[in-house]
Each structure stands twice: as structure tokens, then as C-alpha cells.
């Protein structure tokens, strides 16, 4: 039997191409004051997540310890250390959306997707995240699908958003 590649990206070393891309991101930004967040955003924009193998490189470039970089990654809700699903759906769980039925949408998502927040469906089609306000509070309830904000959502409209992501009915 062939050996199976480890699936956890945590143990995956950076390949040469990724290493090069990463240096291309870090080097021009390293000298700016307070560079860590901008660098982490740029890495996540490029790779879809912040691969743990990047941490030593970033730490080295900014003269920080790996623990400090890890501490920042784990502090902020936006940064993820594993790749998300093909689509990312963020449901607003905050008060203005609650007042317009966000809890019903939450129940609908959990039941149809069979996952909770911060989880990805088994087929990798969709990652579900909570978000606390998208600034669309007068046209609630609101969700963001792959960066696009959708307002005045009903369960019917949410269902068609899920259909558009190829989620099984």
C-alpha cells in the first residue's frame, strides 16, 4: 500500500513555490510599523488560510517569537489555520438581525448543513461562520456569502443561497 499523505496542514512543510510566494508577501511589508496584521491578512488572502508552517517565517522577518505570532493568529476571529470550504457563509447573529429572524435562519442552516458554526460540511462545499454585525441593520437579517452581503433574508432566500453553493437539499 502506498503511504497516505498526512492531511493536517500543520505538519505540512512549505513547498518551494509557497515559500517563494510567502517571501514575496512578507519582505515588502516587514518594515512597516505594526506589520503583523497586514501580513497575516495578505497571507490569508493569498492562501485562503494562514498555514501554520508560515509562522516561523513571519516571526523571523518581524523579529518576533513564534509564540507571539501564534498568539495574534489565535486571538482574531478572522484568521484560520486550516483551509475553508469552497464557499464561506457568515451569518449575522447580532441583535438587529435577531429582531428580524436570525435565530430561525441559524436553525435552518444547522439543520440543512448538518454542521455548527466554525465547521465545514463533509463534502467541503461550505464553511459556516458567525459574524457579529455587517452594518446592514436596517435591512436585516443579513448574511455574507463569499464576501457578498445579502439582506432582508427569508428562509426561502437563504435556501436558494445554499442551492447556489451546491448544498444537497
Partner 1 sequence: MSVRVYVPRDTSALACGADEVAAAINAEASRRGITIELVRNGSRGLCWLEPLVEVETTEGRIGFGPVSVDTVGELFDAGFPNANSHALSLGLVEDLAWLKKQQRVCFSRNGIIDPISLEDFEAHGGWQGARRALAMRPQDIVSAVTESGLRGRGGAAFPCGIKWQTVHDQLVAQKFIVCNADEGDSGTFSDRMILEGDPYRLIEGMLIAGLACGANQGFVYLRSEYPLARQIFVQALERAREAGWLGTNVADSGRAFDIDLRIGAGAYICGEETSLLESLEGKRGQVRFKPPLPAIKGLFGQPTVINNLITLASVPDILVNGAEWYRDLGYGRSRGTLPIQLTGNIRCGGLVELGFGVSLRELLYDYGGGSASGRPIRAVQVGGPLGAYLPESQFDTLIDYEAFAAIDAMLGHGGIVVFDDTVDMTEQARFAMEFCAIESCGKCTPCRIGSRRGVEVIERLRQGVDAAANRALLESLCDTMQHGSLCALGGLTPLPVKSALAHFSEDFQPRPPA
What residues make contact with partner 1 under the rule CB under 8 A?
A: 33-38, 40-41, 62, 68, 71-72, 75-79, 92, 94-100, 103, 131-140, 142, 144, 147-152
Q: Which is nearer to partner 1, 127 or 142 (CB)?
A: 142
Q: Min. distance of Cβ 1 from partner 1 in angstroms?
A: 42
- Output 77 or 168, the one with its CB closest to partner 1: 77
Give residues with Cβ within 8 angstroms of 99, minimum separation 6: 140
Q: How far apart are CA 155 and CA 59, in angstroms?
A: 45
Is the Cβ of residue 21 or residue 41 nearer to partner 1 in the bound state? 41
> Least separation, in Å, of the C-beta of 79 and partner 1?
6
For residue 95, what are the CA distances in angstroms to 70, 92, 141?
Answer: 31, 9, 10
| Closer residue to partner 1, CB minimum distance, 50 or 109 | 50
Min dist CB 101 to partner 1, Å, is: 9
| CB distance 27 to 48 below 8 Å | no
| CB-CB contact of 125 with 119 (8 Å) | no
Q: How far is the CB of 39 from partner 1 (least distance, A)?
A: 8
Using the minimum distance from each CB to partner 1, give the nearer residue, 11 or 154. Answer: 154
Q: Which three three-digit cell numbers place residue 55?
A: 509562522
Class of residue 110 by CB neighbours under 10 A (exposed 0-12, middle 13-18, buried 19+): middle
Helices 36-47 and 16-29: crossing angle in degrees, nearest 10, is 150
Name the minimum Å distance from CB 4 to partner 1. 34
Amino acid at each position: 500500500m502506498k503511504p497516505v499523505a498526512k492531511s493536517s496542514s500543520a505538519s505540512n512543510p512549505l513547498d518551494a513555490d509557497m515559500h517563494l510566494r510567502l517571501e514575496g508577501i512578507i519582505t515588502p511589508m516587514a518594515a512597516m510599523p505594526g506589520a503583523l496584521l497586514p501580513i497575516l491578512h495578505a497571507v490569508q488572502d493569498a492562501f485562503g488560510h494562514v498555514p501554520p508552517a508560515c509562522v516561523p517565517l513571519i516571526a523571523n522577518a518581524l523579529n518576533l517569537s513564534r509564540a507571539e505570532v501564534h498568539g495574534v493568529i489565535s486571538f482574531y476571529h478572522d484568521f484560520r489555520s486550516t483551509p475553508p470550504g469552497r464557499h464561506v457563509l457568515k451569518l449575522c447573529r447580532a441583535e438587529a438581525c435577531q429582531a428580524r429572524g436570525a435565530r430561525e435562519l441559524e436553525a435552518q442552516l444547522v439543520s440543512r448543513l448538518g454542521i455548527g458554526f466554525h465547521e465545514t460540511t463533509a463534502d467541503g462545499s461550505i464553511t459556516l461562520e458567525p459574524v457579529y454585525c455587517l452594518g446592514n441593520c436596517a435591512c436585516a437579517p443579513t448574511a455574507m456569502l463569499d464576501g457578498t452581503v445579502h439582506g432582508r433574508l427569508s428562509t426561502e432566500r437563504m435556501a436558494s443561497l445554499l442551492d447556489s453553493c451546491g448544498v444537497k437539499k
